[in-house]
Amino acid sequence: MSAPGYARRVAGFGTTIFAEINNLSLQHGAVNLGQGRPDFDGPQEVVEAAINALRSGNCNQYAPGRGIPQLMEGIAQHAAVFYDLEVDPENGVLVTPGATEAIFCSIMGLIDPGDEVIVIEPFYDSYVPGIEMAGATPIYVSLHPPDWVFEPDELRAAFSDRTRAIMNNTPKNPTGRVFTRAELQLIADLCLKHDVIVIAAEVYEPLLFDNARHVPIASLPGMFERTVTVGSAGKTFGMTGWKIGWVYGPPDLITGAWRSIQFTSFATNHPAQVGVAHGFAMGSSYYEEYQALYHGKRALMMDVLAGAGMKSILPQGTYFVMADFSDLFDGDDVAFTQHMITEIGVSCIPPSVFFTPEHRHITKDHVRFTFCKNDDTLLQAAERMRKLRG
Ligand SMILES: Cc1ncc(COP(=O)(O)O)c(C=O)c1O
């Protein structure tokens, strides 16, 4: 007799940290600097383009399964203009309901049961459930504070003849670091040596500061053929609610992802794709303004943390910063997050959830804050967090 309940493949998953923190924040009226969810709107002309698409009467039915041609063209053009990558817009691009789905269908379409997949931690929290649902085994390589770099020998040791893929994310959530060309080259060399593919989540590629440069791992010699690169309109155009993402790469790998997504979502929101296609047509001044906006917010966030007495390293990219609270609080990151929400009234994320349980101690003194918020929200957080100094 089978009892009602969950399938074994999802039984261990629980609730995502973002849902948990959002609920707790609401309950306690906390200023929410937890989830990377802007509290201001994206570009109005992108919104207008989607509204026009809705009203046109031509976009309220299924979009073509792989995406609408003008968006696929925009994605390929972006890769060509910014990174000199030659992407086939017709067969080398797949539009998906968000980057999370792009990652999931890439895993499902490219990884077999019994394969090993290297995961650099802290990791985006969808990677491991995806790998497990594919019947594969995650192999962890940790980044170490304070600079959040990997030990080359630990990375080398993670590769074996069972390794099929590595999940790579740069600019890195939650550490705010941008991997250097040398770091990426080491990953690439190991992938080439062991015949491993890369699922490259580069969703924060437009969010860079100072002299940081984003190097797509697909642009390194010999790597395009073995890399699928994931992007997100939630990050590039600040429209997280639209859930438009994409993956591009060599047509044979993209076809694997496509075969999987055909039977999960089949096609992606049509009018929102028209809006995002318009976003790609806005030109490079958009990205300059976007970076300038976040440059100011990063400075404000650093002031918030300094005012609260926390130590942190200036992020090179993304809208996240890791802050060390060990001078202020006796307890781990989960206890501090609880304290922050219930006593201080500001939410953050305990990054230990982005590590495998055996490695959670690595980040026990840090929490992640996001600065994708109105300046007023950040100032309100600053006011509340001054209490932390006692
Ligand atoms: C590394 C990384 N990948 C993927 C995503 C998800 O993007 P989307 O909202 O488009 O699914 C995020 C969002 O926080 C992320 O940080």
Residue 191: name the closest of 146, 221, 236 by CA.
Answer: 221
Mean pLDDT across the stretch 27-56?
96
Q: Which of 235, 236, 261 to mutate to test the pocket of ligand 1 (most atoms within 8 A of CB)?
A: 235
- Is pLDDT at 1 greater than 60 in this prediction? no
- Per residue in 96-143, pLDDT (tens digit) is 999 999 999 999 999 999 999 999 999 999 999 999 999 999 999 999
Mean pLDDT across the stretch 195-210?
98
Distance from the alpha carbon of residue 2 to the mean position of ligand 1, in angstroms: 36
Are the C-beta atoms of 71 and 277 separated by less than 8 Å? yes
Mean pLDDT across the stretch 208-222?
97
Distance from the alpha carbon of residue 100 to the mean position of ligand 1, in angstroms: 6
- Is pLDDT at 2 greater than 80 in this prediction? no
Residue 151: name the closest of 193, 116, 183, 192 by CA.
Answer: 183
Q: What is the pLDDT of residue 18?
A: 86
Distance from the alpha carbon of residue 233 to the mean position of ligand 1, in angstroms: 10
To the nearest 10°, report the CA torsion of 170, 174, 178, 184.
Answer: -50
Q: What is the pLDDT of residue 128?
A: 97
What confidence tier does 307 reach under pLDDT thresholds 50, 70, 90?
Answer: very high
What confidence tier does 15 reach under pLDDT thresholds 50, 70, 90?
Answer: confident
Q: What is the pLDDT of residue 20?
A: 87
Supply the mean pLDDT for the chain.
96
- Per residue in 312-341, pLDDT (tens digit) is 999 999 999 999 999 999 999 999 999 999
Ligand 1 site, residue 119, Cβ cutoff 6 A: no
How large a percentage of the chain has pLDDT more than 90? Answer: 94
Mean pLDDT across the stretch 30-40?
95
Which residues lie closer than 8 Å to 369 by C-beta, 6 or more apart? 33, 301, 304, 305, 320, 321, 323, 348, 349
pTM as predicted: 0.96
All structural domains of the chain: 8-42+285-389 (3.90.1150.10), 61-283 (3.40.640.10)
Atom of ligand 1 nearest to the CA of 318: 16
